[in-house]
Amino acid sequence: MKRPKIQFLAVYVTVFLFLLLGGGCALLPDIDISPPSTTPANPPTTTDTATPIDPEWNPASIDGDAFELPNIAEVVARVKPSVVAINVEVVTYDIFNRPQTQEGAGSGWVIDKDGLIVTNNHVVEGAQTVTVTFANGETYAAGEVRTDPLTDLAVVQVDARNLPALSIGDCSNLRVGDWAVAIGNPLGLGISAKEGIISRKDVSITFSSGQILYDLIETSAAINPGNSGGPLVNMTGEVIGITSAKLSAIGVEGLGYAISSNASLPIIEELIQQGYVVRPWLGVGLESVSEWIAARYSLAVNQGALITQVAQGSPADIAELKQGDVVIAFDGEDITTAQELIQVIHSSKIGQKVPVTFWRGEDQMVAEVTLIESPPPP
């Protein structure tokens, strides 16, 4: 049974050599298949003795002042005692409207020795109970919790004193390629550290909910669920960002994001000092106009910010804006989505008078509004 196979192989090899050396010449490039010459075309000049290249050469001496790579272990040792695991319980409802308790985990860090801890809003949002656990195992129940959903920041207070607070660094001096370390509670497994570099600065991300986070730092440090709220620190142990999000998709790696310290510090200060963030306020509920929304409500335009509600006594109410109006320009800036309108409002000043262009039915109109200070949350 083996002999026919050997004969077939011999025939195949013969045919292949024929195609390669003769019959196949029209299909192959013109190459020289003659054996290489054993004599080099330009043989080197030979002498009886080897000639030195540089008889005075010596290897470079060791530089005692050479630059040293950062010692990440020392950074982690300095920062880790100030990082906490945050565990929450949230009540949700199933399809039969029955309550059920779900648990979640996140991270945080000490900003003040008298029990003030920074984290993300989405870590504690809607939580019935919040507990804070330090790297040494000490656990505290959260007292006051203050949040700012717009920037995804929150401050949690615990009844503890003489905590190791972290310093906040200046992000304006960061460079792409600088080392960074993310420390937190990934997957709820306890406090751990991941190293990386600064990959990009001044990044904005739009989430599926429509929320936009601005002034983010992109880092290659591994970010996982549970890291949210933990610090991103530089090589001196200063907080340069608050870990907030990552991009997750097949084939996507190393795209973690932190809210820069320069953007987050003013928000944190207001949450601590006032309990909420004061911003210019128009007093409307909004929804982005899409083709589907335009068709459903028979709107004259297919982009803009649809007003879904107007707060009584608000600047919008005083200017006679109404539910169903579609804002297409604010203070001369075109508006195509609800988030664009929110952003331009917050970029304005309290007391500023602003022209608002909008559609009401088939009519385009302009109203002047005077922005006021946002009221405290209920």
Query: Are 250 and 242 a contacting pair, CB within 8 Å?
Result: no
Query: Are 282 and 246 a contacting pair, CB within 8 Å?
Result: no
Q: Which residue's structure tokens are 């006032």? A: 274
Q: Where are the alpha helices (DSSP H) in 46-154?
A: 72-79, 121-124
CA distance 273 to 155: 11
356 burial class (0-12, 13-18, 19+ CB within 10 angstroms)? buried
Q: Considering 107, 122, 199, 244, which one is annotated as catalytic?
A: 122
317 is catalytic: no
94 is catalytic: no
Residues 6 or more apart whose Cβ sits within 8 Å of residue 132: 84, 85, 86, 108, 117, 139, 140, 141, 142, 156, 158
Q: State the Cα angle at 273 between 270 and 275, rounded to 5°.
A: 70
Q: Considering 107, 199, 228, 264, which one is annotated as catalytic?
A: 228
For 185-224, letters b (16+ CB in 10 Å) and e give: bbeeeebbbbbbebbebebebeeeeeeebebbbbbbbbbb
112 is catalytic: no
Query: Are 304 and 286 a contacting pair, CB within 8 Å?
Result: no
122 Rama class: left (phi>0) / alpha (psi -120 to 50) / beta: alpha
Q: Considering 82, 107, 148, 152, which one is annotated as catalytic?
A: 152
CA distance 167 to 177: 22
Name the phi and psi angles at 230, rounded to 5: -75, 165
Residues 6 or more apart whose Cβ sits within 8 Å of residue 99: 91, 92, 93
Query: Judging by DSSP bridges, how do beta strands 179-184 and 212-219 pair with one another?
Result: unpaired
> Which residues have a catalytic role annotated?
122, 152, 228
